[in-house]
Amino acid sequence: MTHQQSPTEAVAAVVIMAAGAGTRMKSATPKVLHKLAGQTMISLAVDTADALSPQHLVVVVGHEREQVTAHLAEIAPHATIAVQEQALGTGDAVRSGLSVLGEVSGEVVVTSGDNPLLAGETLVELVSRHRNERNAVTVLTARVPDPTGYGRVVRDHDQVVRIVEQADASADELQIAEINSGVYAFDAEALRTGIAALGTANAAGELYLTDVIAHARSAGGRVGAHLLEDWVQAEGVNDRVQLARLNAELNRRILNRWMLDGVTVIDPATTWVHAGVDLAPDVTLLPGTSLEGATSVASGATIGPDTTLIDVEVGENATVTRTHAELAVIAAAATVGPFSYLRPGTELGERGKIGAFVETKKAVIGAGTKVPHLTYCGDAELGEGVNIGAGTIFANYDGVAKYTTTVGDHSFVGSDSVLVAPVQIGDGAYVAAGSTITGPVGPGELAVARGQQRNIAGWVFRKRAGTKTEAAAKAAIEAAEQGRQAGEDNQQ
């Protein structure tokens, strides 16, 4: 008997099958922990299931269960874990899931952990059809270009007669293009009694969940189908070729959504944006850009080309070019790159600049401050309007501990300087080029810390005799002497 619920009533449970070994992935990582758009497949499956706001969310684990369970504890603490001890088929997996539910009434929706493009809206539509048609079982189906490997859906008009697996299908049944996606809405009672009646009389010797359909029909229940127009949602991941293909498709869909929301993507083929990224209208993404994690980019900013940002916050009208940055903040109208490396803890203020071949780490850089080129700036606090000359090194590590360097507002550090932390340079101070600073520099002071220049005459002729260096020096001296002599002759 089916249990009819109101359209707004939550389903009793969603059971996600995630116990498979995924041997074709040939990976030490469990299949459902492989990622698309920055999320694991099981994380995507949980997000999809949560669209139904189920009373219970059950994830069935098996292979490498410790890794999968630990991940679920982080991303879905509301999920209940069920263990499939042996890989005895989809029917056994769902039976394992039901064992932790107890007696529930209403709908039980079954999905798979390796259908990463399945949308939450699709599950809502599936449940709506299931309720409207008062079905005992409703199967999510699709017509795919190549149905090889999928179970075929055998129909009697608008009802499903059975689902036949590839290995058990006749020649005529193999010609059927409509396939089973492996996603179902069940009446809880029909599912319980159907699971209890399963047997292993099939080519694989497994308990097929699809055999519940025949049991439901024999009990007088109606078995319907919800046909997906977007058939790609039905595709599963069994190997890394499929993983790459569906990852690219998911990325294409993410980019299309952002472009329709006002983001300019110059070359979608080389631009990758994770599902957790947030982009404002009028952002421009240039070729070779990869935005990952929880990166956010404000309006008017331009990112790329050839840039990777991981968990980075970018302000309005900022420009980030040929840069790798992680866990950093880039404020409004700031510029970064090319060839910059922003490590975690970097904070660049408004209108600030981090230039070519600059590496920063735990560096707070004030508004309007410039670190233009060829600098390592680690464990530093730079005030407003500071200028750091080319080739400056913030020597923050003594081999045991790391220390902080502070540079005050509107100070100037000359090129090729070394600031040996811990050291403090006051507001409005200057550091002469080539200095090694080991002590404090007061406000308004000029620090000069370098040896006095000494030129040793004749050194090359004594120590580098017979070299091209000696020949060049001799020629230059002779030319200078000739020029001096000519000048004296002109005066006479």
pLDDT tens readout for residues 283-306: 999 999 999 999 999 999 999 999
pLDDT band at 472 (very low <50, low <70, confident <90, very high): very high
At residue 8, the pLDDT reads 55
Q: Output phi, psi for 484, to 5 deg.
A: -65, -45
| pLDDT value at 457 more than 80 | yes
CA separation (Å) from 31 to 34, 263, 357, 473?
A: 6, 33, 39, 69
pLDDT band at 87 (very low <50, low <70, confident <90, very high): confident
By annotation, the residues acting in catalysis are 373
Domains and CATH numbers, the chain: 13-234 (3.90.550.10), 322-447 (2.160.10.10)
Half-sphere exposure for 15 (CA within 13 Å, toward CB): 31
Which DSSP symbol is given to 446? Answer: E
Task: Determine the average pLDDT of the residues in 198-226.
Answer: 90
At residue 149, the pLDDT reads 87
At residue 5, the pLDDT reads 42
% residues pLDDT > 90 (the chain):
89
pLDDT in tens, 408-432: 999 999 999 999 999 999 999 999 9
pLDDT in tens, 155-186: 998 899 999 988 889 999 999 999 999 999 99
Tell me if the bond preceding 422 is cis, omega within 30° of 0.
Answer: yes
Cα 304 → chain centroid: 17
Sort strands 107-112 and 178-187 into parallel, antiparallel or unpaired: antiparallel
pLDDT in tens, 331-371: 999 999 999 999 999 999 999 999 999 999 999 999 999 99
Task: Determine the average pLDDT of the residues in 148-157.
Answer: 91
User: In whole numbers, what is the pLDDT of the chain averaged over residues?
Assistant: 95
d(CA 253, CA 270): 14
Answer yes or no: pTM beyond 0.85. yes
Task: Determine the average pLDDT of the residues in 1-20.
Answer: 74
Q: 334: alpha, beta or left, given left = phi > 0 and alpha = psi -120 to 50? A: beta
Q: Is 462 helix (H, G, I), strand (E, B) or coil?
A: helix
Q: Is 217 helix (H, G, I), strand (E, B) or coil?
A: helix
At residue 489, the pLDDT reads 76
Residues 6+ apart with CB under 8 A from 397: 378, 403
d(CA 459, CA 475): 15
| pLDDT value at 492 more than 80 | no
Length, in residues, of the chain:
492
Burial of 275 (0-12, 13-18, 19+ CB in 10 A): middle
| pLDDT value at 491 more than 90 | no
At residue 3, the pLDDT reads 40
